[in-house]
Amino acid sequence: MAVFSNSSFSEHEHVAFHHDPVSGLKAIIAVHNTVLGPSLGGCRMYPYSNDDEAITDVLRLSKGMTYKAAMANLPMGGGKSVIIGNPHTDKSPEIMQAMGAFVESLGGQYIVAEDSGIAVSDVHLMAQQTKHAGGLNAKFTYEGAPSDGNPAPSTAYGTFVGLKAAVDFALQKDLSELTVAIQGVGQVGYRLAKHLHEAGAKLIIADTFGPAVDKAQSEFGAKVVDINEIHAVDADVLAPCALGATINPTTINSIKAKVIAGAANNQLLTESLGQVLFDKGITYAPDYVINAAGIIDIHHQQVDSSAAKMKAHIEMIGTTLTDIFTLSQAQQRPTNIVANELAEAKFK
């Protein structure tokens, strides 16, 4: 079980391992960087098949959080945690409380939040043992309504703003003239589809979950295609909103869209594919820039803020992306590399 020689280890400040024999908790917290502030990131519970898989995931995800927070101009660093276990069969209040105590033991270097396999109710259990839990007691949505703590409405709005910025830059067209292909119409993809439908865009969608497909089809008149075809449809914009690695050597040559702008994390299988997109004249909105509104939301719920301030902060995603696209064009370099360098200049 190697850490320093793991290919995802990248100057992480702190990696902590914990086993609580009473509850059975086995967990890892990775603090990537705290130059800009305490590290914030979700806790993922997943039945990793071995320890190396869990370490690689937590190292990779925590690094991504540093870049995301830096580009969103948040006073936060990047961290993430993983619990090794099946969220459907291994979860217990004792495990969540033990995780809270583990988070507390880092003295505020890491602030835990929800992620895949971990619900807001689990974070509440952790918060019984730690002061360092984020995303709880959310007060407002970006529209000023009461919030249930789900960051997806903010993430979808930020993605919509970012998609519009990419279209303005690359295509100079109104959304009502465009067709957008959305891969995955779950929490974020469905809400993005709603914004786009209201702006007059035509939609093509794909999802593995039948009821999600039916809903988007009936509410937005979306055309439905197979999940293996969505990346290759005739559309102006491709919005990956499901899994990571949508852009990979198998799919990249069949992408017809001239803009890629979606909420999914880790959309490029490898960083080098950013150059391939650039060479093909495809404007790619770097994932951690366009999908940052979820942590912007969590931040504004923690400090003395308001819905209006949070909305204005989310809308800065459009400005940040336009700056990245402009630099990318001026330097003739891919957007993902330009974004990485801008982020590193802030936290290194």
Distance CA 249, CA 229 (A): 15
Distance CA 203, CA 239 (A): 10
CA angle, 90 as apex, 134 and 97 as ends, to 5°? 40
| Closest residue by Cα to residue 288 from 255, 312, 321 | 321
By CB under 6 A, residue 241 contacts ligand NAD: yes
Minimum distance from CB of 239 to ligand NAD (Å)? Answer: 10
Minimum distance from CB of 61 to ligand NAD (Å)? Answer: 10
Distance CA 199, CA 258 (A): 19
Minimum distance from CB of 209 to ligand NAD (Å)? Answer: 4
Residue nearest to ligand NAD (CB): 186
Distance CA 67, CA 271 (A): 14
From 66, 183, 301, 320, residue interacting with ligand NAD (rule: CB under 6 A): 183
Which residue, 125 or 264, has its beta carbon nearer to ligand NAD? Answer: 264
Mask for 269-308, x = binds ligand NAD (CB under 6 A): ----------------------x--x--------------
Using CB under 6 A as the binding criterion, the count of chain residues that bind ligand NAD stands at 24
From 123, 188, 239, 338, residue interacting with ligand NAD (rule: CB under 6 A): 188
| Closest residue by Cα to residue 69 from 128, 110, 20, 105 | 110
DSSP conformation letters of 75-119: S-EEEEEEEES-TTTT--HHHHHHHHHHHHHTTTSEEEEEBTTB-
Distance CA 153, CA 188 (A): 7
Segment 122 to 161, residues that bind ligand NAD, using CB under 6 A: 151-152, 155
Residue ranges in the chain assigned as alpha helix (H): 51-71, 93-105, 120-126, 152-170, 187-198, 210-220, 273-279, 287-290, 293-302, 307-331, 335-347
The phi, psi pair for 77, rounded to 5°, reads -105, -165
From 161, 203, 238, 264, residue interacting with ligand NAD (rule: CB under 6 A): 264
Minimum distance from CB of 63 to ligand NAD (Å)? Answer: 15
Minimum distance from CB of 211 to ligand NAD (Å)? Answer: 9
Instruction: Single out the segment in contact with ligand NAD by CB under 6 A; choices: 25-33, 139-147, 185-193, 339-347.
Output: 185-193
Is position 80 annotated as part of the catalytic site? yes
Distance of CA 320 to the CA centre of its chain: 16
CA angle, 70 as apex, 127 and 62 as ends, to 5°? 50
By CB under 6 A, residue 206 contacts ligand NAD: yes
Which residue, 106 or 165, has its beta carbon nearer to ligand NAD? Answer: 165
Which residue, 58 or 106, has its beta carbon nearer to ligand NAD? Answer: 58
Minimum distance from CB of 135 to ligand NAD (Å)? Answer: 10
Catalytic residue among 26, 80, 194, 202: 80
Catalytic annotation, residues: 80
Q: Point out which residues bind ligand NAD (CB under 6 A).
A: 151-152, 155, 183-189, 206-209, 212, 227, 241-243, 263-265, 291, 294
